[in-house]
Structure 1
Amino acid sequence: MQLVIALILALIVDSDIKGKTFFRVAYYIPTVTSTVAVSVMFMFIFKTDGLLNKFLKIFGIPPYNWFSDVRLALPSIMGMAIWSSVGLYMIIFLAGLQDIPHSLYEAAWIDGANKWQQFWYVTLPLLRPTFFFNLVVSLIGTFQVFDQAYVVSGGNGGPLNATMTVVLYLYRTGFRDFKMGYACAIAFILFAIIFVLTLLQKKLFGEETQYQ
């Protein structure tokens, strides 16, 4: 989801709209903001009497305690993580878009391709290496999520382990339950997964670059 949003934002700020520099900065600012500060801000927004529930009340929707509901806790953290990281992937997509020669779009336009066809047959194929790079980096980042889940759940992964992540589970196992051997095994498996993803990214990204 965050890659789709990042691509849409990159297309917007790469177009000839007014104030696109402002939008680039505005979309990127959450990326350089402290994850702890972002988590505290979203806890304020998502609490029972928070801004989100006050907005939903206008439409007659009852209030929810988003981070305390088993069904809503994980999607709420996902929304927070997407908001705080989408700017990074937007910048990478923007670099990929600006690397596409404009002459290809002119040739497609001369051949009668509309905007959608130019995007589908010119932009997307040439963005494959960039998209795959973002995909692997985002997957690695997802495996490494810790700060948001720790702050929101108070370090216990609640409610009912709904916000438990791999790194938070590793932390609890090693530094709360003092099962250091088990925690080391978790860390090793996490390292192996990230290592395989990195090798896969390097192999396929290298092949794409060589092909181009």
Structure 2
Amino acid sequence: MENSSPKTTKKISGILYNQKIAPYVFVLPFLISFVIFFASPVLSAINMSFQSVLPGQVEYIGLDNYKKLWNPTFLKALMNSSKYTFYTLLILIPIPLILAVFLNSKVMVAKNFFRSTLFVPALTSVVVAGTIFRLAFGELEGSLMNTIISYFGIEKQRWLGKENLAMITLITLAAWRWIGINLLYFMAGLQNISKELYESAEIDGASTWDKFLRITVPLLKPITIYVFTISIYGGYSMFTESYMLWAGNRSPNDIGLTIVGYLYRNGLEQNNLGLGSAVGIALLVITFIITITQLKFFGMFKKEE
């Protein structure tokens, strides 16, 4: 028994130092956490989506939950989430990119101040931010936004009572919170671009616009695709912002209802976990298809020669 222990230790060490096995040993913690915290819940949700899961009653009902999804309320939530995602992409990609280019410029002064200022909103709790925006975009004449527009001769608006104005409020909140995060991603990408490329371009007579289009944008493609991908996920998974703006999951005519909000309404508020699981799986499929499509569009699956 005394001689077996050193042999066992030596055998284990040999396995760990094996070039074929060692990579799997290092990724094993990730694989275990992936199976426990992602794969298992997804498989469980898929199973529940074919069931009627009510308090004290569980039975398989086939595709009934998915058939119930195609109703005006779900389509409204899907449209709201799609609009929100589309408009946030129009803001959260180009604006942080342009700001990052300015902050990375040699002539820019007080860089650290602007970086900190733009990043501070990301540190703010979404609950606090949603509450503040609910007060700022309130219907009273003394609310911040109504006070501002009154200086331009515009009468007060029901920001959270009209569909278009409600979407503007949601997008404003998203831009305020996430521009600083995406700015850091682009700043990190710009730091990795060799300054010699810009110097060579200047020698060849390239303008600032030419350097931006022919050097900055192409070399930031991996970062841009990453930001694009997480922004799509963030857009379709948005819920807390809407919940806090309307102080609950019930907005006028469901103008603030999102897919996750619809999941919350069915799965938790109405205790129909089967239908809620079907909503979650539908959301997973939608985001997966959109993500794969945009990755295919940007050529991420092409092999580099």
TM-score, normalised by the number of residues in structure 1: 0.91
Letter of the structure 2 residue corresponding to residue 123 of structure 1: T
Letter of the structure 2 residue corresponding to residue 144 of structure 1: S
CA RMSD of aligned residues (A): 2.2
Match of 2:184 in 1: 91
Higher relative contact order (CA 8 A, sep 6+): 2
1:133 partnered with 2:226:
yes
SS in 1 for 2:163: coil
Distance in 2 (CA, whole Å) between partners of 1:115 and 1:27 is 24
Query: Aligned-pair distance for 1:181?
Result: 0.9
Letter of the structure 2 residue corresponding to residue 20 of structure 1: K
1:14 partnered with 2:104:
yes
1:165 partnered with 2:258:
yes
1:31 partnered with 2:99:
no
- Structural mapping, 1:96-175, within 5 Å: 96-175=189-268
- Structural mapping, 1:32-51, within 5 Å: 32-47=123-138, 48=140, 49-51=142-144
Distance in 1 (CA, whole Å) between partners of 2:200 and 2:127 is 48
**Identical positions, percent:** 33
Deviates more, 1:71-80 or 1:199-208: 199-208
Distance in 2 (CA, whole Å) between partners of 1:20 and 1:57 is 34
| Conservation of the 8 A alpha-carbon contact between 2:225 and 2:295 | no
Match of 1:67 in 2: 160
SS in 2 for 1:145: coil
SS in 2 for 1:154: coil
Distance in 2 (CA, whole Å) between partners of 1:201 and 1:74 is 24
Query: Aligned-pair distance for 1:6?
Result: 1.0
| Conservation of the 8 A alpha-carbon contact between 1:73 and 1:159 | no
Query: Aligned-pair distance for 1:147?
Result: 0.6
| Conservation of the 8 A alpha-carbon contact between 2:134 and 2:246 | no
Match of 2:68 in 1: none
| Conservation of the 8 A alpha-carbon contact between 2:232 and 2:291 | no
Deviates more, 1:112-121 or 1:149-158: 149-158
Query: Aligned-pair distance for 1:71?
Result: 2.5
Which is greater in Rg? 2
Distance in 1 (CA, whole Å) between partners of 2:104 and 2:112 is 10
Letter of the structure 2 residue corresponding to residue 86 of structure 1: I
Q: CA-to-partner distance for each residue in 1:57-98, whole Å, 9 max, x for gaps?
A: 111111112112222112211111111111111100111111
SS in 1 for 2:164: coil
TM-score, normalised by the number of residues in structure 2: 0.64
Match of 1:180 in 2: 273
Letter of the structure 2 residue corresponding to residue 18 of structure 1: V
SS in 2 for 1:112: coil
Q: Which sections of structure 1, spanning at least 5 residues, go unmatched?
A: none
Distance in 1 (CA, whole Å) between partners of 2:295 and 2:123 is 26
Distance in 2 (CA, whole Å) between partners of 1:18 and 1:30 is 21
Distance in 1 (CA, whole Å) between partners of 2:180 and 2:257 is 25
Query: Aligned-pair distance for 1:154?
Result: 2.7
Query: Aligned-pair distance for 1:198?
Result: 6.0
